[in-house]
Structure formats: C-alpha cells, structure tokens
Structure 1
C-alpha cells in the first residue's frame, strides 16, 4: 500500500509511506519518503529508491493506492 500525508507539517512536504504485509498477515512499513510534491519526478525517485533497497520487490503482487493518486503509470 502506498499512501501520503497532505498539509500536515509547516514545510508542506509530503510523507509517502510504503507498507507490505508480512508472513503473519500484519502490515509493516518498509519505506518512508519525504517529498516536495507529488510530481512524477519525486514519485519516480521514491519508487526507484524503494526498489533499490528491496531487491525482492518483484514479488509484490498487488499495489494499493488512494483514490486520488495522480500518476498510477509510475508503478
């Protein structure tokens, strides 16, 4: 699951959180990305970074995002 905070801090940075289910069925946060905006360049950097530090990312079968997620093609 990928979700973001909106306007929750003074600098207006967006906090994107990546979460997976572990072998016990519990959600575990595996990546947090603090970004200037939700533009394609920032989102691409966050996803690329996630893939780099998680070499088994190819085992991901489903990605859930919020309804207003702007650029689904990045995933």
Structure 2
C-alpha cells in the first residue's frame, strides 16, 4: 500500500499533467503516444487506490476548483 505522503505527491504531480484529450501530435509530436500512456498509467494507479482522477484537482487545490451545481 502507498503511504499518504507519496499519494499526495502523486496527486499533486497529476494536477500538472495534461488531460488525455489534450495530448495530440500537434503539441507533443512523436512523444504523444508515450505521454498519453504515462497519463493513463497515473490515472490507473490513482483509481487503483480508490481515488477518482477527475476529483484530484479539487482535492489538491480546492480554492481553484469550480463549485458543484448539484
């Protein structure tokens, strides 16, 4: 199991990664597939540890995340 500090570091780093839809050949050239694989790998690790990747940014930076309309 991953310790809390390491998990927080992973979540923080993830907030700086591009979203999968942002990874394209125009911006990333020949590295696009590798970058997309890395982004998806981190998303899978977060999900494996019970963390919704879509919620990470709000967890790490709650003051800059939009309020829910629900």
Relative to the length of structure 2, the TM-score reads: 0.33
Higher strand share: 1
Higher helix share: 2
The structure whose RCO (Cα within 8 Å, separation 6+) is larger is: 2
Relative to the length of structure 1, the TM-score reads: 0.31
